[in-house]
Amino acid sequence: MHVALLWLALILYAVGIALTFPSVIRRRPALTPTALGALGLGLLAHATVLAFETVEIHRLPVTDVRSALSFFSFLATLAFFLVYLRYRITALGLFMLPLVFVLTLISALHPGRPFANPAFRGGWLLTHIASIFLGYTAFFLTFVAAAMYLFQERELKSKKPRAFYYRLPSLEVCDELYSRSLIFGLPFLSLGILTGFVWASRMWKGPWELDPKILASLLTWLVYLVLFSTRLSGAWRGRRSAYLAIFGFITILVTFLGISLLSGQHGYIPQLGTLP
Amino acid sequence: MNLLLVGMNHRTAPVEVRERMNISEARLGAAVSDLVRREGILEGLIISTCNRIEVIASAPDQADGEPPLRQFLADYYQCDLNAYQSHFYWHRQQEAVRHLFRVASSLDSMLVGEPQILGQLKRAYAIAREAGALNGPLNEIVTQAFAVARKVRRETAIGTAAVSVSYAAVELAKKIFGDLAGKTIFVIGAGKMSELAAKHLLSSGASAIFVSNRTYDRAVELAAAFHGTAIRFEQLLDYVGKADIVISSTGAPHFVIEKPQVEKMLAARRNRPMFFVDIAVPRDIDPTVNELDNAFLYDIDDLEQVVDANKKQREREAVYAEEIVQQEVQKMMRRLASREVVPTIVALEERLNRIREGEVERHRSRLSSLTPEQREALDALTRGIVNKILHGPITELKSGAGHLEHRTLVQLIRKMFGVEE
């Protein structure tokens, strides 16, 4: 049931993406409503999967890599949708949706049932996971906005308008999207890290502060703090900020995926209380 | 109906010839009335702009509209048409519809995608309607041309990119600042082009304007025209940093604004972006300013380059627009053809039933001995024969609708069964 619904969501996403591409690349705005319709239905199917899983295991279905990817791709599509409603940037889909598709595909190809990991219960951990994921989603948006900014800026500096010039939003809009997602994401990341610390100090024995994933998230947090303060003060803006936003997202990827392989507690292994 | 279009445009005729053929808007109503009054012309429309003249007319099925149309042109222009023969193009039926759709969608324009022609076409349409020259299928074709033009505009990006230097400056400003509302402009040096660019920027939403000129009085004058503020040339650099968009066109032999100065301005503005448009030759702004993060500098050649790229962009979009026009022409032709089919079918049925009834009537006296049941059977029999005969031609008429040869088929069937027009 879950798996079938997830595949349905995946197919709907695929249709949405397949229509978004010509709507942006060949500039056929007439295709956009259908693309959005397909994506919306995909979101609905995806939300149903997540709701079923939540009810079934009595916790947020983010207990292993598979379910985490599924959850993240859901949030990212939702973010695309919400941003579209406000800014009408179809080009955003070009950058965000292929990743959504790949992540959902991975998730659908490994249909392991989310297990009722006893470690993943409790308010602190729920807050931790939810905040971290909201933060990551916001920063994914920051990353995409920064990339769009860099593409558009390069076109404008080169003075030879090419494909991106006609298809990407203005620098101002990229910058606004980038700043707003940053402002939205940072409190969630901070809250997520903080609740993580509280939870870890209660539940884990041993030197949890040295867990590679925890160190990596601290680095991530630091990067975004610098980004946030320099952008808000106006000290950095434009290209330099955009580069830092891209670096920041790379640290997220390293934290989220890379370190999971090294870290004991964050390796999504259902064991509790021991560190290697 | 026979559709006929004769015209000339900027490609087929030089300006001297187009001038000669131009019909002013004031005289258009009389001209189109004259056209449709002629024997063999049902409806008419005349479009006359500085780049083209198009005369479209419809004639009845059997008639050829060309002789009266030629006569109209010869009478109207009081000239020997043969002298201009090479400049005119003639389109018939489907080709005439296609030409009209392409003109309306601005695919035949000098600047492809510019929307003016649609407005001109709409005025010509209103005039022809008022003159009572459009009241049948041609009317439908013209209104459909408007719909096609809207569709092309909606579904392609043909009209989106700026194709003049001053609009290119506005477009670039929008690519940098998004919405221009609340943005400030600084015009350095009064000149036609900078005034034009400033005007476009203001009408696109920019809110405040500073003007500076070496002769202060001229600056005051220009500032008054734009409801802006005049700045003394010596104080220029104190104010440039307050503006988001700077348009410069002084006659200065050296740079008026240099890189370190812009660097300072950007720091003072907390790196909010600045857009410099340097229209002056020799240039007013150090070209290395463009190397600064958040500063964008375009000189006149750069703007031309953007315009060229935009034109190419429009041409690419035009390819897709042509596809849309092609589909719409097919649809229109199908609709026109099916319009002719229905009356033919009705006429055919009426004709054969009249024959049947007439024959039954003629033999009435010999059939008087029939019982009511037998009479009913006879009725059913004759009706059955008529329907069997009709079945073939009606199916043929219905299935053929839309094909090019279909009109001849309709006419053939009408002739065979003796159905009047």
CATH of the domain at B245: 3.40.50.720
Tokens matching residue B276: 């410099």
Q: Match 């030879």 to its residue by tokens.
A: A160
Q: By the CB < 8 Å criterion, does A173 face chain B?
A: yes
Q: Angle CA(A55)–CA(A61)–CA(A62) in degrees, nearest 5?
A: 165
- Residue A163: closest CA among chain B residues belongs to which residue? B313
Strand pairing report for B245-248 and B184-188:
parallel
Decide if pLDDT at A191 tops 50: yes
pLDDT value, residue B302: 95
- Residue A234: closest CA among chain B residues belongs to which residue? B270
Name the nearest CA neighbour of A137 among A196, A175, A61, A192: A192
Q: By the CB < 8 Å criterion, does B177 face chain A?
A: yes
CB count, 10 Å around CB of A205?
9
pLDDT value, residue A271: 35
Q: A243 and A140 in one domain?
A: yes
pLDDT (mean) for A9-23: 92
pLDDT (mean) for B24-29: 88
SS3 A100: helix
Name the nearest CA neighbour of B49 among B89, B130, B108, B135: B108
Contact A159 B157 (CB under 8 A): no
Q: A169 and A82 in one domain?
A: no
Q: Distance between CA atoms of B347 and B147, rounded to whole angstroms?
A: 33
pLDDT mean across residues, chain B:
89
Give, rounded to a whole angstrom, the gap between the first and last alpha carbons of chain B. Answer: 11
Name the nearest CA neighbour of B53 among B30, B34, B71, B31: B31
Chain A hits for B290, CB-CB cut-off 8 Å, are: 157
| Residue that finishes a domain, picked among A81, A99, A116 | A116
Closest chain A C-alpha to B297 CA, distance in angstroms: 8
Chain A hits for B175, CB-CB cut-off 8 Å, are: 152, 156, 165, 170-171
Domain boundaries, position A69: 1-116
Contact B177 A236 (CB under 8 A): no
Q: Distance between CA atoms of A20 and A93, rounded to whole angstroms?
A: 7
SS3 A64: coil
For residue B273, tell me if it sits in a domain: yes
Decide if pLDDT at B402 tops 80: no
For residue B40, tell me if it sits in a domain: yes
Question: What does DSSP assign to residue B285?
Answer: B
Digit-coded pLDDT (tens) for B155-193: 888 888 888 888 899 999 999 999 899 999 999 988 888
**φ/ψ of residue B229, rounded to 5:** -115, 130
Domain boundaries, position B169: 165-307
Digit-coded pLDDT (tens) for A25-55: 888 888 889 999 999 999 999 999 989 888 8
pLDDT bucket at B266, cuts 50 / 70 / 90: very high
| Closest in B157, B296, B317 to A157, CB measured | B296
pLDDT value, residue A264: 53
- Here the CATH number for the domain that contains residue B156 is 3.30.460.30
Digit-coded pLDDT (tens) for B322-376: 999 999 999 998 888 777 788 888 888 889 999 998 988 888 788 888 888 888 8
Name the nearest CA neighbour of B279 among B205, B193, B408, B355: B193
pLDDT value, residue A262: 58
pLDDT value, residue B420: 66
| Residue that finishes a domain, picked among A69, A100, A116 | A116
pLDDT bucket at A10, cuts 50 / 70 / 90: very high
| Number of independent structural domains in chain B | 3
pLDDT bucket at A201, cuts 50 / 70 / 90: confident
Contact A234 B270 (CB under 8 A): yes
Name the nearest CA neighbour of B100 among B147, B133, B132: B147
Q: By the CB < 8 Å criterion, does B415 face chain A?
A: no
Q: Distance between CA atoms of B22 and B65, rounded to whole angstroms?
A: 22
pLDDT bucket at B410, cuts 50 / 70 / 90: confident
Contact assessment for residue B150 and residue B324, using Cβ atoms and an 8 Å cutoff:
no
Digit-coded pLDDT (tens) for A90-112: 999 999 999 889 988 988 887 66
Decide if pLDDT at B241 tops 70: yes
Alpha carbon of residue A240 to chain centroid? 22
Q: By the CB < 8 Å criterion, does A243 face chain B?
A: no
Q: A152 and A72 in one domain?
A: no
Decide if pLDDT at A276 tops 50: no
| Closest in B176, B179, B294 to A237, CB measured | B294
Q: By the CB < 8 Å criterion, does A7 face chain B?
A: no
Q: By the CB < 8 Å criterion, does B93 face chain A?
A: no
Sign of CA dihedral B265, B267, B272, B277: positive
Digit-coded pLDDT (tens) for B97-156: 999 999 999 999 988 988 889 999 999 999 999 999 998 889 999 999 999 999 999 888
Q: Distance between CA atoms of B366 and B149, rounded to whole angstroms?
A: 66
pLDDT bucket at A19, cuts 50 / 70 / 90: very high
